[in-house]
Structure 1
C-alpha cells in the first residue's frame, strides 16, 4: 500500500509518497503561497503531491489515500482548518479542497499530532504500545499515541503540552497564562534566557561564541557550558531542571512506553537526555517498577510529519 502525506507549513508545502511501513519513496517541497485564497494554497499542495509522486516513480492513481498535517486549530472529523493565523485560514474545508484536486479520500490532522504519529509508526516509538512526543522549537508542541491511536481530546484540542503550568505565576506565556512549560523549555525560551545571562555576565564566554545578542541560538549555551563557562552552565542547569519537571509530569500522567524529545535542543543528545533521565529516576512515580518509560531522542526530523500524515488512515 502506498499513501500520500502532505505537511502544510507557513514557509513550505512538503509532500511524500510513503509505504505502509513508513518508508518514504519520494518527496517534494514547494513554497507556501502567502496572501492568496485557500484554493490557491490547495493548488500548490496538489502540485507538491504530483512532484512527490514523480520523485517516487509512481502514479497518483496507485496511492491509496491522502493525509494532511496542518498547523492551527483543526477539526479532523469535519475536514476543516478552523483557524490558522499564519495564512489567515478560518473554517477552510481543506479535506474537500484536496479531495477534489487529487480524487482520493483525505484525512486531516494537526501537524504536531501527525509528527507524533510518524515517530510512533516509523521512528523512536516504533514497536511500542504507547508514546508521548514533545518538540522543543519556537514553542513546545506534542502529541500522544495510546494503544495505537492518536489521543486528541473530545474537541481535537488535547495534548497542548506546551501549556500546562510548571511554575505557578511564573514567566508570561504567549497563550496568556503564566508559568507554562513552553515559557521555560522552548528553544525560544532557552535563547531568551541565554541573552539575559549574557547581559548579567559581560565577561561570559557566551559573548565570544555568539558574537553578540543577535547571534545567540539554541546551541550557544550548550557549547559555552561544555567549555566550562559558569554563566552558560547555570542557564543549562536551569533549563534541564524545568525540562525534567515537565517530562516527569507527562510520564506520571500517561506512563507511556516511550517518551521522545525532538526539536533543536534535542540535537544535544545525551548531553540533554542523561540529566533529564536522572530527574526521572527521582520523580517518576513508577521509578521502582521494572517497566518504566524509555526517554529517547526523536529520530525522523522533518520527515515525521510527512510519514504521520500519510499513515493517518492506519491509526483511526
Structure 2
C-alpha cells in the first residue's frame, strides 16, 4: 500500500492527513494557524501536525511517498517559494525548503484552491473529466482549473484567481485592491455583508430573531435559514446572492467551457437550495445555452477533505 501526506495550510487551521493509494484519508490532525506570525513558527506547526497524522495512521515518514501542501497565495512551482499570501502575511517565503528541512522528505507546494480542485479531479465529483473548474465559496472565493491532468496556474503561477474577476464596475472594495470582484459579493464574507445591509433596511425581518438581535452574529447560513422561515428580506438577500454568483460563474463557463464546474466551500452545503436557482440563471445566460452539450454544474463531494487529498496527490501531477 502506498501512502501520501497532505497538508492544508489555511488562514484558520493547519490540517494534515495521510492518504492511501485509494485516495482515502486514513488519519488526520489539525492545529490553529494563529496567523499572522513568523513563517518559521507556522512551518514548525505544519511539521508537527504532519507527524501527529502519521502517528494516528501508525506509520512513519519512511512509509510516505512525498508530502504535498496546499497554501493560500501565489506559489512559484520552480522554487517552492510562496511569493505572496495576503491571508498569511507571507512575502517570498521559501516554504518548500523550510518543510523539507524539517521533514526530510520531498515536498510539493500548490495554491490551496488549486490543490482542492485537483482533489476533486482525482477523487471527487470531477473524477477524470478532461477539463474541470472548481470554485470555492469560503471566506474568499477561490478557483482551481485542471486540464488533462494538469493544474493550470498560468506562466507566473498566479492563474485561476477566479474570485478576482470583476462583476460590478466600481463596486465593493476587495482585499486584492480592486473593486467589484466576485469575491466581494459571492464569498461568505460578501454574503454576510449583503445580509447585514438588508437587515438594516428591514428592522422587522426574521433575520434579526435568527441572530438573536445581534447583527454581529450574522454568518453565511443566516439568510438561508431565513428563507426556510419564509422571510421576505432573507429571500431578497439569497436571490441577490445567487444572481451575483451566477454572473461570475457564467463568465467562467464562457471563458473555459469546462466539462464540469464544481462548487465547494461552506456555502455549497446548501446543496439544491443554492444549485437549482443558480443553474436556472446560468442556463439562461451562458453563451453556449443553445449547444447540445453544456457544462455540468455540481456541488463538490469531498468537502473539507478536498484540500488535504488534493495536496497529498500533488506528486502525481509532476
Q: Which residue of 1 aligns with 2:162?
A: 161
Listed one character per residue, the Cα deviations across residues 118-151 of structure 1 (whole Å, up to 9, x for unaligned) are 1111112113222111111221111111111101
Q: 2:264·2:300 contact (CA, 8 Å) conserved in 1?
A: yes
**Normalising by structure 1, what TM-score?**
0.94
Question: How many Å separate the matches in 2 of 1:276 and 1:34?
Answer: 34
Q: Which residue of 2 aligns with 1:140?
A: 141
Q: Does residue 239 of the first structure (1) align with residue 236 of the second (2)? A: no
SS at match of 2:264: strand
Q: State the Cα distance separating 1:260 from its structure 2 match.
A: 1.0
Q: State the Cα distance separating 1:36 from its structure 2 match.
A: 5.7
Gaps spanning 5+ residues in structure 2: where? Answer: none
Question: How many Å separate the matches in 1 of 2:118 and 2:182?
Answer: 22
Q: State the Cα distance separating 1:85 from its structure 2 match.
A: 4.4
Q: Which residue of 2 aligns with 1:84?
A: 85
Question: How many Å separate the matches in 1 of 2:263 and 2:120?
Answer: 10
Q: 2:265·2:304 contact (CA, 8 Å) conserved in 1?
A: no
Q: 2:7·2:68 contact (CA, 8 Å) conserved in 1?
A: yes
Listed one character per residue, the Cα deviations across residues 254-273 of structure 1 (whole Å, up to 9, x for unaligned) are 11111111122211110110
Q: Which residue of 2 aligns with 1:129?
A: 130
Question: How many Å separate the matches in 1 of 2:68 and 2:16?
Answer: 10
Q: Paired residues, what number?
A: 316
C-alpha change, 1:165 and 1:228, in structure 2 (3 Å) is: same
Question: How many Å separate the matches in 1 of 2:34 and 2:172?
Answer: 35
Question: How many Å separate the matches in 2 of 1:151 and 1:99?
Answer: 25
Gaps spanning 5+ residues in structure 1: where? Answer: none
SS at match of 2:65: coil
Q: 1:20·1:311 contact (CA, 8 Å) conserved in 2?
A: no
C-alpha change, 1:39 and 1:218, in structure 2 (3 Å) is: closer
Listed one character per residue, the Cα deviations across residues 91-127 of structure 1 (whole Å, up to 9, x for unaligned) are 2221112222222211111111111111111112113
Q: 2:132·2:260 contact (CA, 8 Å) conserved in 1?
A: yes
Question: How many Å separate the matches in 1 of 2:44 and 2:190?
Answer: 36
Q: Which residue of 1 aligns with 2:74?
A: 73
